[in-house]
Amino acid sequence: EDQVTQSPEALRLQEGESSSLNCSYTVSGLRGLFWYRQDPGKGPEFLFTLYSAGEEKEKERLKATLTKKESFLHITAPKPEDSATYLCAVQVGGGSQGNLIFGKGTKLSVKP
Amino acid sequence: DVKVTQSSRYLVKRTGEKVFLECVQDMDHENMFWYRQDPGLGLRLIYFSYDVKMKEKGDIPEGYSVSREKKERFSLILESASTNQTSMYLCASSRTGYYGYTFGSGTRLTVV
């Protein structure tokens, strides 16, 4: 069965303390891996798409990387406004198999 | 800016009422989705649609139905609302292919 597991469930950082969030997956035939940010009471907001192992994407303090079994979201020198839940999702194929499979998210809190 | 618009941010309904949640996208996307999101359970797929008048069951379709009469609009219907349907409901859309989803802002439904 295709699965996506995110760790840790929650992460507390001090402002400026860099860290990484993990998304591991066991799927047959990865077509794409997606990272989203979700603020409380709002819908997820798209951050990155990664399609192949070795690929990296960056946006401000965030950098996403992909290997054959997992993805990391690196947060460099985070600020309080980076506090949110970060969701990872994978896409494995066409038709209904092309639907995204979501992890349960990592809730990040950044304290000033 | 492209958008997925959900008709209500907050709704309070009584047990047994018929509830309509509306979602409209302006991106000419083929695919549309309804999820519910609950603490600890993550995003769970209720129904999805790949084309006008087409619908497919997701992981938790019981107690729900959907309607897609126009490409841009996807409605979720709770035939007889129950308290265990109290949740955050998220609509999303996507292009056919290996692309991520664009989410709406969500509807927080409370059934009393």
Distance from CA of B104 to the nearest CA of A (A): 6
Does residue A99 sit in helix, strand or coil? coil
Residue B21 token pair? 């949640």
Compute the Cα dihedral for A94, A100, A103, A108 and give only its sign: positive
CB-nearest to B56 from A31, A34, A96 is A96
What is the per-residue pLDDT across A18-54, written as a single tens digit (0 to 9) for each?
999 999 999 888 889 999 999 999 999 999 999 999 9
Contact B56, B49 (CB under 8 A): yes
Looking only at the bridges linking them, the beta strands covering B10-13 and B107-111 are parallel
What is the per-residue pLDDT across B48-104, written as a single tens digit (0 to 9) for each?
999 999 999 999 999 999 999 999 999 999 999 999 999 999 999 998 877 889 999
- Tell me whether A102 touches chain B (CB under 8 Å): yes
- Whether residue B98 and residue A91 make contact (CB cut-off 8 A), yes or no, is yes
Contact B83, B16 (CB under 8 A): no
Q: Which DSSP state fits A98?
A: G
- Looking up tokens 């006008």 gives B52
What is the per-residue pLDDT across B11-38, written as a single tens digit (0 to 9) for each?
999 999 999 999 999 999 999 999 999 9
